[in-house]
Chains A and B, each alone.
Chain A
Amino acid sequence: MALSDQELREIAYLARISVKEESLPSLKKELEDILGLFEELDAANTSEVNAMSHPLDLSQPTRKDEVTEEDLRDELLKNAPSVKSGLFLVPKVIDGEN
């Protein structure tokens, strides 16, 4: 499957990976090789096989609905480069889906 340079740039943007223009050709070849493997997989007849969403044949364990975490705000805020009034500060965002 062939990828265009534009598709590559979009994929890189969505993953927030910065890709230099000069590395586009080699990256493109690697991704196309991987996609080729999927095309090979697509050839297998799976009409009788259920979709598998996890390799382990187990059911997800659950926990009781209890508050077990204490307030570690001050400790956790120490990881952030910029904080104010108990908030993490980030570059300005507008029109978000909050």
Chain B
Amino acid sequence: MKNYSEDWEAVIGLEIHVQLSTKSKLFSGASTDFGALPNTQACNIDLAMPGVLPVLNEEVLKMAVKLGKALNAEINSPTSFARKNYFYPDSPKGYQISQMDKPIVENGYLDIETENGGKRIGVTRAHLEEDAGKSLHDDFEGQSGIDLNRAGTPLLEIVSEPEINTPEEAVAYLKSIHSIIRYLEISDGNMAEGSMRCDANVSVRKIGEEKLGTRTETKNVNSFRFVEKAIQYEIERQIHEIESGNKITQETRLYDSQANTTRPMRSKEFANDYRYFPEPDLLPVNLEKEFIEEVLKTMPEMPTEKKERFVSEFSLSQYDADLLAADKDIAEFFEEVTKVSNSPKLSANWIMGELSAELNNENLNIKESKVSSNKLGQLISRIEDGTISGKIAKDIFEKIWTTGKEVDDIIKEEGLEQVTDDQEIESMIDEVIENNPQQLEQYRSGKDRLFGFFVGQVMKASQGKANPRQVNDILKSKLEK
């Protein structure tokens, strides 16, 4: 949705930092676990003590190769590291080891879908670099506290081409990257905890203009929704500034999610000049063909492939397949349920309906579901084999959710089996007809709509347990008499 004049278009590029889920750091053997006591996971190398040397973690190379493959990109070999020089207390070396000329991943692309159709977004590069520590600005007698546990944690920075034009496209791109890194199991992608962070470069220009406008970089955006809102805000702000005769300053801005605004970060006295140069402590890395081939053998089925398989193997609609395949855990859950239920369509409906409603209610993810995939599969198979009705199944689902009991136990204990005995249904129907002579007369004199009334009465009399199809058939023949 465009809230601004049709004359304008936005040009957006995203820089996404993904924290890689290795056990140890990029260049040291210190642990990367989240939430440890301050500075208990910061070793000599992370602290840049004199004489230490970085030693490259092999796992990050594998992770980067997989990402490169998923982004349809080239893998550079040799790939080399560079120093990005700046002084900040949470970076003890006085520089960050990053990549400049030969990033490990280059020239890829990603296909995204929005309401306006499909679009291909170029991925300029993805490079390896180390994360900084954390500055804590609580009051330490007027000083800042530094925790270096995060210093040296491996990151992949994924840089898009400025080919994104709307906030919706930006979110679709971001979600697609998120889905990929989760499928590859190279990061948990938790935006709230900072394992995936997004900076947005935004500029605006009049449609038809070739020259790009001055861009700003918005940092500190830590959810999909905030990315959309921050970009939307920044586009409108820039258009407003220009239309009011002002100029856009090239600057870094911070997103304030509570006020839904962006504000400039305090600008540094001099323009940033990172004075990159080749990292003398690390040799270029040759990625042998055999190494890359071995890594590619471990590539899992990716979201788009999975989606296509769900359509061909399970005859799901594109829409259902897309929703289920976007999240690796949901896709796995679905396949487990289907294995037990033998009914893909019904399994998909239940997962996207009842189950996701309950999960949302209690703010749980699918791995924390109180109804296991196995139990949901059994429940659905009981609908399929006619033991219970779909309506009763919903009640049983609630019971499993709260008690964790077995499907068949609940059905037995509470006598919920569907009534499929013709005679039993017939006698219930006879009773309903007898008790409603007036409606019977009206029905027979042509008021067809009353058929639904009779069905409802019979279902009620059976406490929802009568098989609806049988009720329909028998009722029809009795009423026509």
Segment among A8-16, A23-31, A32-40, A41-49 that sits at the interface with chain B: A8-16
B39 engages A67 (CB within 8 Å): no
Contact assessment for B145 and A88 in the assembled complex, using a CB-CB cutoff below 8 Å: yes
Contact bitstring A41-75, B, C-beta under 8 A = 1, else 0 = 00000000001011010111111111111011100
Task: Find chain A residues with CB under 8 A from B80 CB.
Answer: 53-54
Q: Which of B42, B89, B280 contacts A90 (CB 8 A)?
A: B89
> Are B266 and A92 within 8 A (Cβ)?
no
Report which of A72, A82, A97 forms a contact with B219, defined as CB distance below 8 A: A97
What distance in Å separates the Cβ of A45 from its nearest Cβ neighbour in chain B? 20
Interface positions of B from 262 to 287, Cβ below 8 Å from A: 265-266, 269-270, 273, 275, 278, 280, 282-286
Q: Number of contact residues on A: which range applies? A: 35 or more
Q: Is the CB of A14 within 8 A of B270?
A: yes
Q: Is A77 an interface residue (CB 8 A)?
A: yes
Which residues from B are CB-within-8-Å of A62?
55-58, 61, 285
Bound state CA distance, A30 and B467, in angstroms? Answer: 95
User: Across the interface, which residues of A come within 8 angstroms of B283, CB to CB?
Assistant: 54, 56, 58-60
- Min CB distance B37 to A, Å, is 6
CB < 8 Å: which of A56, A60, A73 contacts B40?
A73
In the complex, the chain A residue whose C-beta lies closest to that of B54 is A60
Which B residues lie within 8 Å of A16 (CB)?
87, 94
Is the CB of B148 closer than 8 A to any CB of chain A?
Answer: yes
Structural contact, B56 and A63, CB atoms closer than 8 A = yes
Contact B266 A67 (CB under 8 A): no
Give chain A residues whose Cβ lies under 8 Å from the Cβ of B275.
Answer: 14
Knowing A66-B23, A87-B146 touch, does A73 contact B39 (C-beta < 8 A)? Answer: yes
Partner of B28, one of A53, A64, A69, A94: A69
Bound together, the chains give a CA A3 to CA B28 distance in angstroms of 40
Instruction: List chain A residues, Cβ under 8 A from B136.
Output: 87
Closest approach, in angstroms, between the C-beta of A89 and any C-beta of chain B? Answer: 4
The CA of A63 and the CA of B37, in the complex, are separated in Å by 26
Q: A70: nearest residue on chain B (CB-CB)?
A: B43
A92 and B273 contact, Cβ closer than 8 Å, known pairs A54-B283, A65-B23: no
B144 touching A51, Cβ below 8 Å: no
Contact A67 B30 (CB under 8 A): yes
Kindly state whether residue B85 has any CB partner on chain A within 8 Å: yes
Q: Chain B residues near A84 (CB, 8 Å)?
A: 140, 145
Chain B residues with CB under 8 Å of A53's CB are 78, 80, 82, 101-102, 278, 284
Establish whether residues A87 and B42, one from each chain, have CB atoms under 8 Å apart when the complex forms: no
Q: How far is the CB of A1 from chain B (nearest CB, A)?
A: 16
Within 8 Å of chain A (Cβ to Cβ): is B137?
Answer: yes
Closest Cβ of chain B to A96, distance in Å, is: 5
Is B31 in contact with chain A by the CB < 8 A criterion? Answer: yes
**Do residues A63 and B57 form an inter-chain contact, with CB atoms below 8 A?**
yes
Q: How far is the CA of A77 from the CA of B269 in the complex (A)?
A: 31
The answer to whether B31 and A67 touch across the interface, beta carbons within 8 angstroms, is: yes
State the Cβ distance, A9 to closest chain B Cβ, in Å.
Answer: 9
Selected A-B contacts with CB under 8 Å, 14 pairs: A14-B85, A53-B80, A54-B283, A63-B57, A64-B58, A73-B42, A76-B44, A76-B49, A82-B143, A84-B145, A90-B89, A91-B144, A93-B144, A95-B254
